[in-house]
Amino acid sequence: MILVAIGSNICGLHGETSLEMCQKAISLFSVHDSINVMNVSRWYRSAPVPRTLDQPDFVNGVVALATDLAPDALVRIMQGMEVDAGRVRTVPNAPRPLDLDLIAYGDLRRVPGDRTGEGVVADLVLPHPRAHERAFVLLPLRDVSPSWRHPLSGRSIDDLIADLPPQDIESLEERTASSR
């Protein structure tokens, strides 16, 4: 299973809200003949990590995909989607209309310096090196794959979530239900 984290914390080029940008990303994956959307998590509101006072909260989710594309080819498509959404890479952790991160590509493990099938030295690390530290990744990941285990540690998603420090996150569904 291929897992991609989706996030947004500023409006898109055409005024789309963060939630609309995340939903649009799902439809953009679906237009690729070589990518199948298998499952989509609930959407969550989360504070930026690291926490900054000058940027809005994120909307986050995770999508499970199936594809025959190599990880690097999938990431190139994802980066093109980000650019098309108006993302400009300035400084790390800057606000962005769309943020897509490849969290896991099945059980594939890659560290910097590994060689890909084409003999290229990889800079894509798999699984994502900080995914296990982030509630905004793990909670929606559990929605799409409750039996997922971290490919390096072998730890279950529930164990990883239990070990998280407190983080400012809530399901948008629960937020909407509580405001009725």
Q: What is the pLDDT of residues 22-65, one digit of tens each?
A: 999 999 999 999 999 999 999 999 998 766 667 899 999 999 99
Please name the residue that has the structure tokens 């940027």: 55
Q: Taking residues 86-102, what's their average pLDDT? A: 75
Within 10 angstroms of residue 117's Cβ, the number of other Cβ atoms is 7
Q: What is the dihedral of CA 91, 93, 95, 96, to 10 degrees?
A: 90
Using alpha carbons, select from 115, 120, 158, 166 the residue that is nearest to residue 139. 158
* Summary mean pLDDT of the chain: 87
Rounded Cα distance between 102 and 126, Å, is 8
Question: Please, what CATH class does the domain formed by 2-178 belong to?
Answer: alpha beta
| CB burial readout 122-140, b (16+ within 10 A) else e | bebebbbeebbebbbbbbb
Instruction: pLDDT band for 12, please (50, 70, 90 cuts).
Output: confident
Rounded Cα distance between 101 and 131, Å, is 9
Helices in the chain by DSSP H: which ranges?
A: 18-30, 71-84, 135-144, 157-162, 172-178
